[in-house]
């Protein structure tokens, strides 16, 4: 296996991990793709999904680009500290 990355995973990477797991991606494949350990994939998934559930209080599916951007920006703010 190649070298693992060092440093925190950016919020867009964390969200990508969650979305890929939810669509059926292999944890091992994600570890290789993102250059992180398999336990880190599990941690990122569990922690990020918890943040999404806790901080995103949506009234239905976001219908406009403006609402999607607001959600993305809010997620970036809360995920940078972990």
Whether 22 is in a domain gets the answer yes
Provide the pLDDT for residue 58. 54
Q: How far apart are CA 78 and CA 82, in angstroms?
A: 8
**Number of structural domains in the chain:** 1
User: At residue 5, what are phi and psi to the nearest 5 degrees?
Assistant: -70, 160
Whether 47 is in a domain gets the answer yes
Whether 6 is in a domain gets the answer no
Residue labelled with tokens 């976001």: 62
Provide the pLDDT for residue 2. 46
Whether 63 is in a domain gets the answer yes
E strand or H helix at 17: helix 11-22
Q: What is the pLDDT of residues 16-63, one digit of tens each?
A: 999 998 888 999 999 999 999 999 999 999 898 888 877 776 555 566
């Amino acid at each position: 296996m190649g070298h693992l990355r060092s440093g925190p995973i950016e919020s867009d990477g964390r969200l990508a991990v969650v979305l890929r797991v939810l669509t059926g991606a292999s944890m091992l494949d994600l570890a290789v793709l993102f250059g992180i350990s398999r336990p880190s994939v599990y941690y990122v998934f569990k922690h990020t999904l918890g943040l999404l559930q806790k901080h995103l209080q949506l009234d239905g599916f976001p219908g406009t680009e403006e609402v999607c951007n607001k959600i993305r920006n809010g997620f970036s703010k809360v995920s940078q500290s972990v």
